[in-house]
Amino acid sequence: MNVSVREVRRDDLSAIAVIERASFSDPWSRAMFDAHLMVRGGNLFLVAESGAALVGYAIVRTVHEESELLNIAIAPERRNQGIGAQLLDEVIRRCRASGALEMWLEVRESNVGARALYAARGFTAAGIRKRYYHAPREDAIVLRAAIGVDVRSETVTQPVQGLHAGSVDSIISTASHHPRQETK
Ligand SMILES: CC(C)(COP(=O)(O)OP(=O)(O)OC[C@H]1O[C@@H](n2cnc3c(N)ncnc32)[C@H](O)[C@@H]1OP(=O)(O)O)[C@@H](O)C(=O)NCCC(=O)NCCS
């Protein structure tokens, strides 16, 4: 069945919470999703829909030329069908259109599936946050992609010169500096 991507609505939150709990050992609370629903400028909260069913979501925050992917998940029974890739492509397209040049995210070191998805979209490792995640405790790999260039059309929208361009320490921090549940 065709999958479409649209902006979130308040009445999506129950279905999102179900997917979140099925996807993460340290799920976001309903209040955290609520908060992202309220935030406007720079915040993008998209859902993927298949027929009447909500099958995934993604949340991104953009400040100036940098976007940060805060959360993405697909319903377990709908994984490996290209929906995560479709959703991430739409997120990147919209962030690029709003002027972002780079996208950053963190991923559990052991999350092979997500890392494969990000690698296929041009994300590369920029560093490690030691013991960043809890339940279970695990390092985060920090990934970065230049998104100012659409590699499929090779259209250069702006020179790729993000704030973090240049050398990046392999260990970005030894402890979590975010409240843990701010990002996945
Ligand atoms: C990560 C996630 C969003 C991927 O969504 P998905 O719809 O299953 O991914 P897709 O079917 O679009 O696959 C995209 C690519 O990733 C690869 N991939 C996805 N899951 C994989 C896995 N478990 N192992 C290896 N590769 C995998 C696919 O092979 C595909 O590559 P291709 O385009 O070269 O064929 C989904 O698995 C998920 O919700 N996981 C739980 C939540 C999570 O970990 N979120 C990320 C937090 S950082």
Q: CATH code at 117? A: 3.40.630.30
Concerning whether 106 is annotated as a catalytic residue, the answer is yes
The one catalytic residue among 66, 106, 132, 133: 106
Cβ atoms 107, 77 nearer than 8 A: no
Total number of domains constituting the chain: 1
Q: What is the pTM of this model?
A: 0.86
81: domain range?
3-182
Helices (H) and strands (E) in the chain, counts: 4, 10
List per-residue pLDDT tens for the chain, 184 residues long: 799 999 999 999 999 999 999 999 999 999 999 999 887 788 999 999 999 999 999 999 999 999 999 999 999 999 999 999 999 999 999 999 999 999 999 999 999 999 999 999 999 999 999 999 999 999 999 999 999 976 555 554 444 333 333 333 444 543 333 333 455 6
Which residues, judged by CB distance below 6 Å to any ligand atom, belong to the binding site of ligand 1?
23, 72-74, 79-85, 107, 111-114, 116-117, 120, 184
Determine the distance separating the centroid of ligand 1 and the alpha carbon of 176, expressed in angstroms. 25
Atom of ligand 1 nearest to the CA of 117: 16
Largest CA distance in the chain: 46
Cβ atoms 149, 156 nearer than 8 A: yes
Question: Angle at Cα 30 formed by Cα 27 and Cα 35, nearest 5°?
Answer: 110
Determine the distance separating the centroid of ligand 1 and the alpha carbon of 69, expressed in angstroms. 15
The one catalytic residue among 49, 57, 118, 132: 118
Q: What are 86's two structure tokens?
A: 């479709």
Alpha helix (H) residue ranges in 24-73 = 30-38
Euclidean distance between CA atoms 105 and 6, whole angstroms: 21
